Structure 1
Amino acid sequence: MTLRRVNVIILVLLAVAFLIIVQRNLLNFSDFFHKEHPDTGVVLPFESELSLDLRLELERKGEEIPVLITAVEERLGGVIAVMNSVYQNSKANVVFTIVTLNDTVDHLNTWLSRTKLKNIKYNIVLFNTEPLSGRISKDPQVLEAVKLLSFARFYLPAYIPNAEKAIYLDDDIIVQGDIQELYETNLKPGHAAAFSDDCDSASAKGIVRGAGNQNNYIGYLDFKKEAIKKLGMRANTCSFNPGVIIANLTEWKNQNITRQLEHWMELNTQEDLYSKTLAESISTPPLLIVFYKRHATIDPMWHVRHLGATGAGNRYSPQFVKAAKLLHWNGHYKPWGRPSSFFDVWDKWFIPDPTGKFHPVRRHTGDN
């Protein structure tokens, strides 16, 4: 081989190396820009469709992280904000499973396909109400869609059949940390799930009690009923919040957790086991019974709660809210409604509805 040909080959290799370095630097700058300005929707000049596909190919390989969310029509903006916050704050290979009803599918598909979320991986699954037949009250208030869908988390292995582990998130959440970290929460052998205890430090005992939220088992279960007495549970045991769940689906199936939950649902229809001062979700009591002292715990900063409770969210400092890795507006006041604490944090991740059907209340009315 002549010296001239060797020089040509070397020059070509150097040029290729230079182009690769430039491409990576541009991608890193793009990441930085979008992290600093997640709500702008601006596409930088070098971000062609080809480079976007390359970004996804380079950054989102590896183990899939299944995330399940439920979606009802009147709260669809919340679902979009959750997904956007998860996707933009992580390079993990996230795959969303969205459990919903027939009347929401088209709207959801349009919202995702016509916005910057069009490249995410997701599956839409219709909620199967058949397993709930005879297991929940026929009271019309209980049967409203949002409450029905809260039972979807009981059937995690059915909706995500091929995964060993999965995350469940409520729709009134914003994720500010890398979801990979939450996914890697350690679950001890024999634990099918991890939850956030309601007495943990990040949610602040004073805030919880001051807001009137119940944070122990007696707030959810009627300890005068014989079926509850027989369990030998302490009434003052800290409850947990199932708005965020990390589930070991293999263990869930091995222990037949779904069937255990269904058993307590059935028994409640016969014996009315829930507390008359029931705190929030009607789907929480069976979870509290089945996972009593049999669950792992989530890092408190990965589930900062009560932003939607009366007065509670306002007790958090802006610095604390900024440092939180996951924010949850559980309670009556949602960040797309009015009034709610720290709605400006939620606004950063909300993507306007291209169909014009969904409006945060304050924007629709011209409020700030």
Structure 2
Amino acid sequence: CWVLDALIAWATEEEEEEEEEEEVPVVICAAEGRIGATIAAINSIYSNSDGNVLFYIVAMANSLQHVRKWIENSKLKKIKFKVIEFNPMVLRGKVRSDSSRPELLQPLNFVRFYLPLLILKHEKVIYLDDDVIVQGDIQDLYDTKIQPGHAAAFATDCDLPSTHEMVRSIGMQTTYMGFLDYRKQAVRDLGISPNTCSFNPGVFVANITEWKRQKITKQLEKWMLKNVQDNLYSSAMAGGVATPPMLLVFHQKHSTINPMWHIRHLGWSPDARYSENFLQEAQLLHWNGRFKPWDYPCAHQELWEKWYIPDPSGRFTIMRPNS
């Protein structure tokens, strides 16, 4: 009977919608030369999470096959993933080239600006840098409450006293002064105190619908272009040009994530060490900075290396003192 058929079809659609809602979409980049970092991050999430995680792995054209084969020839072959090619042409004319850290000017560093163009079917997504390890269930991060009118949630650099003390001891900037050039009148005219606590956009949860409504991507591009014209935040100060636009666009317009879901600055110095008990309690570790856990020297590399899966092609190797 057509009524029964319609009810079955409706129930099937409802079930499919429920399954889709239960997906936890995670966006992470896979840059050639750093794919080992991406694999370790994915492995840590897959191993520690019970939810239905869907990985969106964004790569340049020259890395698409490499990352696919690495996953398909390892225990990660069971994960749900999509590999997406990023077109660097969207950045033409928007990025200055005078960086003290050229790796931060790589196109994939700006993927976070273009989430709605890459992720089409999800209301909410998690974005992660590749130099992270997840020790908790990623569902907990995904369940972060984003306030009405906010397009994203971040952890600020002043959330945890233990983090702030460690960062202060090694002289890392945790305020807007470290990212914007307050000698420029255009920056001072913004009315943002240089002592405003900053946040690191390497880990965040985004509301894609709100992102589109507020045209966040256009706002970020506006600040990219202004920097090209007026050098509002020198790359020498900011360590790159991806963080300042986020700080400007989301100033006083973002929700917060549990600070234990973004314990960062592990890569700032080989001597920047947290207590072992604190690191065990952390849900996510981030080696932002120059000293990456797959290189040498580095801090707490053992926490990263336990999740690393060797490259079947042999192209990516870990650097250690005897290597």
| Shared fold per TM-score greater than 0.5 | yes
Deviations 1:93-127 (A, max 9, x none): 11111111121111111100000000111111111
Structure-2 residue corresponding to 1:293: 252
Task: Determine the C-alpha separation between the residues in 1 that align with 2:161 and 2:286.
Answer: 12
Say yes or no: does 1:191 pair with 2:146. no
Give 1:244 deviation, angstroms: 0.1
Q: Write out per-residue CA displacement over residues 160-206 of structure 1, whole angstroms, 9 at most, x where no aligned residue.
A: 11110000001110000000000011111111011111112165222
Give 1:349's aligned residue.
307
Say if 1:326 and 1:202 are closer, same or farther in 2 by CA, change over 3 A: farther
2:74 equivalent to 1:120:
no
Q: Find the counterpart in structure 2 of residue 332 from structure 1.
A: 290
Is the deviation greater in 200-209 or in 62-71? 200-209
Q: Is structure 2 residue 67 aligned with structure 1 residue 102?
A: no
> Using the alignment, how far apart are the partners of 1:208 and 1:288 within structure 2?
19
| Partner AA of 2:287 in structure 1 | W
CA contact (8 A) 2:23 2:52 kept: yes
Q: Distance in 2 between matches of 1:140 and 1:343?
A: 27
The letter of the residue matching 1:136 is V
* Rounded Cα–Cα distance in structure 2 between residues aligned with 1:228 and 1:140: 20
Deviates more, 1:61-70 or 1:136-145: 136-145
Q: Quick check: 1:136 aligned with 2:122?
A: no
Q: Provide the rounded CA distance (Å) in 2 between the counterparts of 1:313 and 1:213.
A: 11
Q: Distance in 2 between matches of 1:257 and 1:160?
A: 15
C-alpha distance after superposition, 1:141-162 (max 9, x if no partner)? 7765863211110001111111
- Partners in 2 of 1:137 and 1:320 — Cα distance? 38
Residue deviations 1:207-256 (CA, integer Å, cap 9, x gap): 11211211100111112323222221111100100010100111000000
Answering whether residue 155 of structure 2 is matched by residue 201 of structure 1, we say: no
Whether the 8 Å CA contact 1:100–1:125 is kept in 2: the answer is yes
What is the 5 A alignment of 1:1-368?
Answer: 63-139=22-98, 144=103, 147-201=106-160, 204-275=163-234, 277-311=236-270, 313-314=272-273, 316-362=274-320, 366=322
Structure-1 separation of matches of 2:20 and 2:246: 34
* Paired letter, 1:248: N
Contact 2:100 2:236 in 1 (8 A): no
Q: Would you say the 8 A contact 2:261–2:284 is kept in 1?
A: yes
Cα offset, 1:306, TM superposition? 1.1
Which stretch has the larger CA shift, 225-234 or 81-90? 225-234
Q: 1:334, 1:116 → 2: CA distance? A: 24
TM-score by length of 1: 0.79
1: CA distance between counterparts of 2:133 and 2:69? 22
Change in 2 beyond 3 A, CA 1:312/1:199: farther
Structure number with larger C-alpha Rg: 1
TM-score normalised to the size of structure 2?
A: 0.90
Cα distance, 1:279 vs structure 2: 3.2
- Structure 1 distance, partners of 2:239, 2:29, is 17
Structure 2 alignment gaps of length 5 or more: 1-18
Residue identity in the other structure for 2:202: G
SS of corresponding position for 2:24? strand
Distance 1:302 1:218 in 2: 25
Matched residues in 1 for 2:161 and 2:62: separation? 38
**Given residue 154 of structure 1, which amino acid in structure 2 is its aligned partner?**
F
Query: Which segments of 5 or more consecutive residues in structure 1 lack a partner in the other structure?
Result: 1-59
**More divergent stretch after superposition (173-182 vs 144-153):** 144-153
Label 1:145 to 1:311 Cα distance change in 2 as closer, same or farther (>3 A): closer
